[in-house]
Chains A and B, each alone.
Chain A
Amino acid sequence: DAGVTQSPTHLIKTRGQHVTLRCSPISGHKSVSWYQQVLGQGPQFIFQYYEKEERGRGNFPDRFSARQFPNYSSELNVNALLLGDSALYLCASSLTASPAYEQYFGPGTRLTVT
């Protein structure tokens, strides 16, 4: 079975631009969570979606938004990019609405903002 997939794998953007990252969960998983991992640190929670509804949000500015589609895939959008947004963006999927107990992570999208 395929695991969590993310696209693109790498991305380079300029300050002020907008970016869209995509995630496909494991088949049958209805919950998707997004994490930001800055180099040398642990992942930080951004969003969690279950059944297309936002169920949790971390301490990130409104420049960050996300949505989940009927097929449970998800997009993370970041507007007005800053240098500090450079990070590995991880997507995790799980079966249940309380996803923290059984999360499976994708390989991430490496975003570089110049």
Chain B
Amino acid sequence: GESVGLHLPTLSVQEGDNSIINCAYSNSASDYFIWYKQESGKGPQFIIDIRSNMDKRQGQRVTVLLNKTVKHLSLQIAATQPGDSAVYFCAEIPFQGAQKLVFGQGTRLTINP
């Protein structure tokens, strides 16, 4: 079925450390995955995406890893900064050409000074 879930609802890290946010999905036909960042009072903001034919993709300070064998993806944020504090969502496109995104519940990332 279509469902995307997250392992942890909250994550607290020290400023400067690396953060890893995990996400599990159940639909083996999912074609595309996206990580969004949502700050308080704002809509979700695109961070990075990955297609199902890839297992790793890197952006600026962020890396997404996709493990299709166990239906798991993760978002790694390097050298976490105070501005990274937000709720992070993974989302999937359940099949190629789908009109909708299926979002997970979200993980709140808190940065400790």
Q: How far is the CA of A4 from the CA of B41 in the complex (A)?
A: 14
Q: How far is the CA of A6 from the CA of B48 in the complex (A)?
A: 24
Interface residues on A, range: 20 to 34
Contact (A100, B93) CB under 8 Å given A42-B104, A42-B106: yes
The reply to whether B43 and A4 form a contact with Cβ atoms under 8 Å apart is yes
Residue B42 lies at the interface, judged by CB distance under 8 Å to chain A: yes
Residue B11 lies at the interface, judged by CB distance under 8 Å to chain A: no
The reply to whether A108 and B100 form a contact with Cβ atoms under 8 Å apart is no
Q: Considering only CB atoms and an 8 Å cut-off, how many residues of chain B contact the other chain?
A: 23
Majority secondary structure of chain A interface residues (helix, strand, loop or mixed): mixed
The reply to whether B89 and A42 form a contact with Cβ atoms under 8 Å apart is yes
Residue B99 lies at the interface, judged by CB distance under 8 Å to chain A: yes
Residues of A within 8 A of B106 (CB): 40-42
Identify the B interface with A (CB < 8 A).
4, 32, 36, 41-46, 49, 89, 91, 93, 97-106
Residues of A within 8 A of B32 (CB): 100-101
Residue A8 lies at the interface, judged by CB distance under 8 Å to chain B: no
Chain A residues numbered 57-99 whose CB sits less than 8 Å from any CB in chain B: 58, 90, 92, 98-99
Residue A27 lies at the interface, judged by CB distance under 8 Å to chain B: no
Residue A25 lies at the interface, judged by CB distance under 8 Å to chain B: no
Contact with B99, one of A33, A42, A107, A108 (Cβ below 8 angstroms): A33
Contact with A99, one of B43, B44, B99 (Cβ below 8 angstroms): B99
